[in-house]
Structure 1
Amino acid sequence: MPPPPPVLMEELLEEVFFRLPPDEPAWLVRASVACKPWRRILADRGFRRRYREFHRTPPVLGFFEKGGARLVPVASLFPAQADHPDWHVMDCRHGRALLAYIGKTDDLIVLDPMTGHQRRVPSPSNNLIGFTAAVLCAAQGCDHHGCQDGHFLVAVVCPKKLEEITLGWLYSSETDLWTEFASVHRPNANYFSNMDAPGVLVGDALYFNIDGVIECQLGTLSLSTLEKPIDGNGTLMMAEDGRLGYAAVVDVTDLTLWSREAGPEGAMGWTKLRVIDLKTLLPDGALFITTQYGISRSPRSLMISGIAEGTQVIFVSTWVGSYMADLKSGRARMVSRPGRKVFPYMRFYLQQWKQLPRVRGNELVFQVFVKL
């Protein structure tokens, strides 16, 4: 009989477990049910903190689609979520989703999709029409690796066409009060252009793509306007350098990325970063459909339907369906039907370890070491 395998030190096991991919929580669950010592390591609060610090950016576990409040999972083992057809998703960030009732009240709902916990937020105004909003963590100094608990902020931006101004409010869950932003004058603006696009948080400012760009400075409670790099449809994002970015499909299938930075004379402006040919990123047949007469239909419905904030993961809607694509790795897969804006849900999933049957831990460790 061969001797038993040597016992691995806990420090070495942690280094192995750190490298289990966060976008595949089934790996962590399988490791947890392999044996009690492994489960003790993985259940330790310190390990979970170090695991989040190791990977830094939370993975995309699922997404909400515009026009409803159903969370579509993209990761295995993600628990089933309740469907709320009367709710309308507005934003998703820092482990929370921001929802509004459709045609009933002006109240908002902040939802934790993992636990189902809800908190109603009263409307800042009696006449919110065509508004956009965002939710974010309010904890000072938080790294946002796992900040689903604690206090939060809600920002609402509402254009007023007749008055030719844009108003804004900021809600704090700690005080349960709204504070008004300084309004910005915007004559001749197309106020309902791209109102369904989510906001982007960069530093201490939120940005909304509303016929140009509205900048909401959270510290000074002021609003201002920026020009977009090009006319037409596009999406705000965080660029790789951490600055405000912009992405748009140009010349049929070219995904073009910009970053807002200071020019040679110090003035802020848009700089083109790179161009990605979507034909090389998406699978064959994703961009064009061949009809029964042998004619290829052009991808005029091609659009960026969502971006996972702080990552290089984007969602692209085509004739065939909506694809989740990682610009860094070049991997893409279909995740939904075409034509709808999506709001990615990002969070580390480090709980409920007993959902999978027991597996032999040595095989799992061997597989991880081979990947290393």
Structure 2
Amino acid sequence: MSDGGGDETAGSCRLSPAEAAPLDSEAILGEILLRLPPQPSSLPRVSAVSKLWGSLVTSAAFHRRFRAHHREPPILGVYGETSGDIVFTSVLGPPDRIPAERFALPVSADDFFDSWNLLGCRHGRVLAFNRVRLELRVFHPVSGDLRVVALPREFNVAGYGHGFSTSGAVLCVAGDDNPGHVHGGCHSSPFKVVLVGTFHGNQRPAIARVYSSETGLWGDLVSTRGPCGGFFGGHPGTLIRNAIYWWLHGFDIDILEFNLVSKKLAVIKRLPIAGAEIRRANMRIIRAEDGDVGIIISMYPSFHLWDHKVSCHGVGKWVLRKTVNLQNIIGLPPSTNAPIVAIVAYAEDTDEIFLLVRGAGDPYRGSLIMVQLESMRVREYRGSFLEDSYHPFTDFFTAGTVGTRSIPVTEPNQPLSH
């Protein structure tokens, strides 16, 4: 070893031109950067490293590969209703937190009677309903794209009075013919809106129609075989496999099912629990263990998971899957000092429930706790939450993404189906 051994050691830590080459190769560098976490700040931060990195991660081709690699878009926040307005709240911490105004829906209540109802979020889109204007708005917050769709005549709630209840769901349909399609960042893909209605207190069938953005038209009217009472609460529909499910509230607590393939409506009968024993805010429709429909009910200090099983003879029944003690999962105090705990949301893509936990001494602030139902992994977000129902919003988003808003209007089909 020479007297310059120290210099040799220092020099041996330097990368040779051949070793440094991978970071100058778009192909190899791209493979490395694809593995960054799909959080809003990830790509903008690395784009500042160099001109090469910036041009790579801002390209449309890289964004497509990035989404395909991660498959499942992250939960960016939740949407909720406040005094007729629809408000976004990020559930990410700095530097990924998204300002509420960045994802604000281009809707506003012009007066007391002109308010908006949030029907659901799915595949990067938000669906809002205005019962005065008789219109739906489908909004893609990341791109800013907005579509306005007029309601078909059957859903003119003014014609039925307060006895008519409406709900709906939006979903991307690009994956119907392409199983490899990633439902995130796909605002240019076609979508469908499923609109359902019930006549509370009337022995009439529930009805549904499906809107296609490809044709700009509403499909034929669909109804249940028999009468279907009840009304929709603030809970969004849950997409499970090829069907969407909604709670029906009333004397009994049933579930309305719309099959996207057969275009049929059906009713799944009530749970084997007295309605007086459970609060509406503490129930959610979830994905069952076998991938079919299930429910979760929170009755402090535990929650209970039920699966709906259908026999070979077509007879359905509810089966208790398991009971989970909340005190063991999120460290809640004993029931003698019980806080207010409500299930306020369910994320289909990640199979997570959102628990709003508020102390009795401060009911206006609390923690939003997300529990993954298979692993029981827990995440927490602290903030101000007043509602008992929120809509999780998932999509791929890089901070600074800018879009333009388009506002085409679709009129109802003529003639109408009866």
Flag the structure with higher helix content. Answer: 2
Aligned to 2:235: 197
1:71 is aligned to 2:106: no
Moved over 6 A (4+): none
Secondary structure at the aligned position of 2:143 is classed as: coil
Aligned to 1:291: none
Post-superposition Cα deviations, 1:321-368, rounded to whole Å, max 9, x if no partner, equal 2514132332333344144310011001146389xxxxxxxxxxxxxx
Aligned to 2:170: 135
Contact persistence 1:111–1:118 (CA under 8 A): yes
1:82 maps to a residue whose letter is: A
1:326 is aligned to 2:326: no
Compare 58-67 and 238-247 and name the one that shifted more.
238-247
Aligned to 2:76: 61
- Judged with a 3 Å threshold, the aligned counterparts in structure 2 of structure 1 residues 322 and 230 are, in CA distance, closer, same or farther, namely farther
Shift of 1:172: 1.4
> Which residue among 180, 187, 190 is the counterpart of 1:148?
187
Aligned to 2:196: 157
Contact persistence 1:153–1:170 (CA under 8 A): yes
Matching of residues 210-249 of structure 1 within 5 Å: 210=248, 211-231=253-273, 232=278, 233=280, 234-239=283-288, 241-249=290-298
Q: Aligned residues: percent identity?
A: 27
Aligned to 2:304: 256
> Which residue among 167, 172, 178 is the counterpart of 2:212?
172
Secondary structure at the aligned position of 2:358 is classed as: coil
Secondary structure at the aligned position of 1:71 is classed as: strand
**Coordinate RMSD, CA, aligned:** 3.0
- Judged with a 3 Å threshold, the aligned counterparts in structure 2 of structure 1 residues 206 and 353 are, in CA distance, closer, same or farther, namely closer
Secondary structure at the aligned position of 1:131 is classed as: strand
Count residues with an aligned counterpart: 340
Secondary structure at the aligned position of 2:86 is classed as: coil
> Which residue among 16, 21, 26 is the counterpart of 2:37?
21
| Distance in 2 separating the partners of 1:254 and 1:197 | 21
Compare 207-216 and 254-263 and name the one that shifted more.
254-263
- Judged with a 3 Å threshold, the aligned counterparts in structure 2 of structure 1 residues 42 and 188 are, in CA distance, closer, same or farther, namely closer
Give unpaired runs (5+ residues) of structure 1. 289-295, 355-372
TM-score, length of structure 2 as denominator length? 0.72
Shift of 1:105: 1.7
Compare 197-206 and 40-49 and name the one that shifted more.
40-49
- Judged with a 3 Å threshold, the aligned counterparts in structure 2 of structure 1 residues 270 and 94 are, in CA distance, closer, same or farther, namely same
Post-superposition Cα deviations, 1:213-241, rounded to whole Å, max 9, x if no partner, equal 11111222211111244434421123454
Contact persistence 2:272–2:318 (CA under 8 A): no
Secondary structure at the aligned position of 1:195 is classed as: coil
Aligned to 1:126: 156
2:149 maps to a residue whose letter is: V
Contact persistence 1:62–1:72 (CA under 8 A): yes
- Judged with a 3 Å threshold, the aligned counterparts in structure 2 of structure 1 residues 284 and 218 are, in CA distance, closer, same or farther, namely closer
Contact persistence 1:260–1:269 (CA under 8 A): yes
TM-score, length of structure 1 as denominator length? 0.80
Shift of 1:77: 5.1
Secondary structure at the aligned position of 1:165 is classed as: coil
Aligned to 1:116: 144
2:338 maps to a residue whose letter is: S
Compare 229-238 and 111-120 and name the one that shifted more.
229-238
2:291 maps to a residue whose letter is: G
| Distance in 2 separating the partners of 1:12 and 1:280 | 45
Shift of 1:261: 4.2
| Distance in 2 separating the partners of 1:269 and 1:38 | 56
Shift of 1:133: 0.9
Post-superposition Cα deviations, 1:192-214, rounded to whole Å, max 9, x if no partner, equal 3x521111112221111113111
Contact persistence 1:281–1:332 (CA under 8 A): no
| Distance in 2 separating the partners of 1:351 and 1:240 | 36
Aligned to 1:344: 392
| Distance in 2 separating the partners of 1:236 and 1:184 | 20
